[in-house]
Structure 1
């Protein structure tokens, strides 16, 4: 396989199905899907088994017992399970546009990781998107989205930028090219060298901290937020709390101050 696409999930079968359907219609086909499952119920396994028989893209289901929000750990386990040299990361609530994987493959380069973004949809449109809409790419068509009630916004330019205009927007955007868990990619060797995600961190910046260690290792980043497009399906975040944010902020501050490259609790704790 040229690439492994890794994304996490937890008890969200409707959104997970839409994400998998999005990857089933990619223009680039030589990749595998690795689902990093942070303790979902049996219904998630049943869904994955059904879709595995319906689509041509290989699906690997990596599951761990539910022990609270342990996304960093299950992502590290997914990295171990991957068979490709290049890894693309997103989330199980993000539908990729049909050229999503192709863009990551086209922009990859030794010594770099890629930084993309997402377009956050409201709940009503998230629910309205059907399998047929994903196959027809309606959920990336601005006119269709507006017909579903999408409000006008400068962010809507993501749906109409392409080619040279997308490259120009990638270049001039003030947004930092950080590691974003919903849309980033890099070489497996580099991720293993920094020991993957810091498993001391729960929700809140664990993806950014990984990127900061990749920078400390000497990597650079490329901005592809207007080229690699995915839409984020709305959901609640019951796992957010101030204590976790404070702990994660302190870890990130230490990573930057002390130029930490390899996290002490990461991939190697799962081998």
Structure 2
């Protein structure tokens, strides 16, 4: 295996299945899937067990008891469970285009991490997407999406840009190459050096904070937002609250101000 693909899930079997379909048709099969399950019910486990027998890609299910939004902790446990030296992170609500894994592998570079983006879909299209739409890659076709209600926008270039145009847009985009939890990758040894995700942080910027510690360590981001493509399925966000955002923003500020590279409450907490 050349890489471990890690993504989180929580009681969202419909979306999770669409994501698994996306990984079943990747242009390379030389990777394992690690599903970081933050306390889902039995139905999620049953779905994963089903695909363990149907897919020719290894699937590792890492589960912890439901204790509220503890994504940072379950991602650290997934890092520990990984068996390769290169880790690709996405989310259980992001369907990867068929070249997603290959793009990350082709762009990996010593001393760097990769920063991708996502293409947000409205709820009606998120629901509409069928297994056939994923396997045929229709769900990445701008014409198909606009026929089903997607508005025209410059952002649609994320889906339509190919080869040189994608590389040019990666170069020209003003967006900073930050660590984005839905689409990022890096070397396992680098993530271990910074002790992974800060488990004091719940929803809101915990992925960016990890990237800031990598930057402080000298591991710089590399932009691939127009090359490594995934579509983000819409969903409610009941776990979002201003108190958590304020706490996380304070942690991030301290990481930047003190140029921290290590979190005390990270991977080692789970050993």
TM-score higher than 0.5: yes
For residues 125-165 of structure 1, the C-alpha deviation after alignment (integer angstroms, 9 at most, x for no partner) is: 00000011100000001111111111111100111101010
Aligned partner of 1:72 in structure 2 is 72
Q: Say whether 1:235 aligns with 2:244.
A: no
Q: Say whether 1:91 aligns with 2:114.
A: no
Aligned partner of 1:270 in structure 2 is 270
Aligned partner of 2:18 in structure 1 is 18
Aligned partner of 1:28 in structure 2 is 28
**TM-score, with length taken from structure 2:** 0.99
Q: How does 1:135-174 map to 2 (within 5 A)?
A: 135-174=135-174
Q: How does 1:120-131 map to 2 (within 5 A)?
A: 120-131=120-131
Unaligned 5+ residue runs, structure 2?
Answer: none
Q: Which runs of 4+ in 1 moved over 6 A?
A: none
Aligned partner of 2:255 in structure 1 is 255
**TM-score, with length taken from structure 1:** 0.99
Q: Distance in 1 between matches of 2:110 and 2:122?
A: 37
Aligned partner of 1:2 in structure 2 is 2
For residues 72-115 of structure 1, the C-alpha deviation after alignment (integer angstroms, 9 at most, x for no partner) is: 00000000000000000000000000000000000000000000
Q: Distance in 2 between matches of 1:232 and 1:162?
A: 19
Q: Distance in 2 between matches of 1:73 and 1:159?
A: 32
Q: Distance in 1 between matches of 2:112 and 2:193?
A: 14
Question: Following TM superposition, by how much is the alpha carbon of 1:54 offset from its aligned partner in structure 2, in angstroms?
Answer: 1.3
Give the RMSD, CA atoms, in angstroms: 0.4
Question: Following TM superposition, by how much is the alpha carbon of 1:234 offset from its aligned partner in structure 2, in angstroms?
Answer: 0.1
* Local SS of the residue matching 2:169: helix
Question: Following TM superposition, by how much is the alpha carbon of 1:185 offset from its aligned partner in structure 2, in angstroms?
Answer: 0.1
Q: Distance in 1 between matches of 2:110 and 2:47?
A: 36
Question: Following TM superposition, by how much is the alpha carbon of 1:52 offset from its aligned partner in structure 2, in angstroms?
Answer: 1.2
Q: How does 1:192-207 map to 2 (within 5 A)?
A: 192-207=192-207
Q: Distance in 2 between matches of 1:159 and 1:38?
A: 30
Question: Following TM superposition, by how much is the alpha carbon of 1:15 offset from its aligned partner in structure 2, in angstroms?
Answer: 0.2
Unaligned 5+ residue runs, structure 1?
Answer: none
Q: Say whether 1:185 aligns with 2:185.
A: yes
Aligned partner of 1:54 in structure 2 is 54
Q: Distance in 2 between matches of 1:159 and 1:179?
A: 20
Aligned partner of 2:226 in structure 1 is 226
